[in-house]
Amino acid sequence: MSIKSVEEVIILDVARSAHNMPGVDPTVLTDILKAYAFYNKEIEYCQGMNFIAGFLLMVLKNEETAFKAMV
């Protein structure tokens, strides 16, 4: 999958799920997921990662720490 199409899937998934995650900024969640997809070329993005990253962001309350936990 190309980075552009990965980004489109991430944006769609975040739009569908972020409203169910109190205190999670959809822009920050999208940034974490795009960074992870770029970082891990083998996996990139799989549907459902938005829930994992969103949960980490809710609990850890820090974008960098949530990204590191994803890695």
Closest listed residue to residue 62, CA positions, set 20, 24, 8: 24
Apex CA 65: angle with CA 14 and CA 68, to 5°?
85
**Six-digit token string for 44:** 């990139």
Whole domain around residue 11: which residue ranges?
Answer: 3-70
Separation of alpha carbons 36 and 40, rounded Å: 6
Compute φ and ψ for 53, nearest 5 degrees: -65, -40
pTM of structure: 0.90
What CATH number did the domain enclosing 42 receive?
1.10.8.270
* Structural domains of the chain, count: 1
Residue 62 pLDDT class (50, 70, 90 cuts)? very high
pLDDT digits (tens, 9 = 90+) for 10-52: 999 999 988 888 889 999 999 999 999 999 999 999 989 999 9
Q: Give CA 66 to chain center in angstroms.
A: 9
